[in-house]
Amino acid sequence: MQVFQYPVSAEWPALQQRAAAGEARQVEERVRQIFDDVRQRGDEALRQYAAELDGATLTELRVTPEELAAAEAQVPAELQTAIRQAHANLWKFHATQRTEEPRVETMPGVTCWRKSVPVQRVGLYIPGGSAPLFSTLLMLGVPARLAACPEVVLTTPPQKDGSVNPVILFTAQLLGIQTIVKAGGAQAVAALAGGTESVPAVDKIFGPGNRYVTAAKQLATQHGVAIDMPAGPSEVLVIADRTANPAFVAADLLSQAEHGPDSQVLLLTDSVELLPLVTAEVERQLAELPRRDVAARALAESRAILLRTPEEMLFFSNQYAPEHLILSVQDPEALAGGVTSAGSVFLGHLTPEAAGDYASGTNHTLPTGGYARNYSGVSLDSFLKKITFQRITPEGLLHVGPVVETMAEAEGLHAHARAVTLRLESISVNR
């Protein structure tokens, strides 16, 4: 990790820079090419990308019922139990997000209300590759099911033998997802956005991924498809004081660094003594990781920063707007009150970010790249649309009509005013 001691505020923007920002233009151009290709060639393009990028030769893009049924036997019983418990925790937390909104009479005879309606067709993108994220499928599948979305399409990269990781298939079965497509990367997002022979077009796309997937999701919005949020490479920021355990902090940093070479981890501390202990512990634990090469590449773009006060650390964090924020301090509740920009916050020395990644109950599909300044993480609301309704009685029109007429005339929108005036005249005649 790069170490910085007491940088002045003018140096902070450079320290808050994400590594991927400089390559955005090249990534966007490549993603546009992929979108055009998938639009023109459909399934044929998806099979070609599977061969080139995943090393898989596919005859069928859809997972068959036989493949789905065979998955459970390939998943160890202990892991099945863990997944079922995580599913229960996620269900319990997200179910509390159901709300019934009251009807409101804004004036006598004028009633307004709002109704939640599920997004009809949703696409879930689940990264595969070196770390198949079956946990992400839980995070997306649980609220999709709670929202009662009628059609759920899962896309995930194939393994080299053309199969899908059995744990992903087991999790899909647990969630009742039947439409599963062997496609990954920007090409999967392109297929979900426009549809192919094997992939139904959807209304909204969910799921994290690398910079290509993030760019593809943003491009999908130009094709009339909504997305959950811009969710790219993983990141964590740890605020640690002198009471923090260096081994715990190092493990938290490495848990994000091992996601991918473009992940980023930051440590902020006001303890001169803690800083070298954490950096040494990072090196020690890194040497023991099976994914140490991946983590090491991420650490090359990561930073440990010594600041002067808790207030300074919190201000830096809010500017950075991390996906994950860990408050490894003596009084985390006090510091948490000042958090304004973060995807998900983990309080105290015994609350690892990994708990939120898997099984505490909160959602781990979170905004990255600074988007936590203006986006929330995935929740039940992400899978719902809010439609407003209103009903006006004759009495209500007598109250609200003149207000509308006056405002419409002032804006020069005379047809708006007439739509009210004609009705008021009708009421007067029929009285």
Active site residues: 323-324
Q: CA nearest 370: which of 61, 21, 9?
A: 21
Q: Decide if 356 contacts 350 (C-beta within 8 A).
A: no
87 has binding-site annotation: no
DSSP 380: G
Distance in angstroms (rounded) separating the CA atoms of residues 228 and 208:
9
What SS3 state is found at 150? coil
125 has binding-site annotation: yes
328 has binding-site annotation: no
375 has binding-site annotation: no
Give long-range contacts, CB 8 A cutoff, 24+ apart: 33-41: 34/185, 34/186, 34/187, 34/190, 34/216, 35/186, 35/190, 35/193, 35/194, 35/216, 35/219, 37/187, 37/190, 38/187, 38/190, 38/191, 38/194, 38/196, 39/190, 39/194
255 has binding-site annotation: no
Q: CA nearest 183: which of 293, 37, 358, 23?
A: 37
Burial code (b: 16+ CB inside 10 Å, e: under 16) for 60-78 equals ebebeeebbeebeeebeee
349 has binding-site annotation: no
**What is the token pair recorded at 109?**
């005879």
Q: Decide if 54 contacts 157 (C-beta within 8 A).
A: yes
Q: CA nearest 15: which of 363, 337, 338, 317?
A: 317
**What is the token pair recorded at 227?**
């997305």
324 has binding-site annotation: yes
Q: CA nearest 174: which of 166, 185, 182?
A: 166
Q: Is the dihedral of CA 418, 424, 426, 428 positive or negative?
A: negative
234 has binding-site annotation: yes
Phi-psi region of 81 (alpha: psi -120 to 50; beta: other; left: phi over 0): alpha
49 has binding-site annotation: no
Q: Which residue has the tokens 């999967």?
A: 188
Q: CA nearest 290: which of 131, 81, 52?
A: 131
416 has binding-site annotation: yes
What are the φ/ψ torsions at residue 422 (nearest 5 degrees)?
Answer: -60, -40
Annotated binding site for NAD(+): 125, 187, 210
Annotated binding site: 125, 187, 210, 234, 256, 259, 324, 357, 411, 416
Annotated binding site for substrate: 234, 256, 259, 324, 357, 411, 416
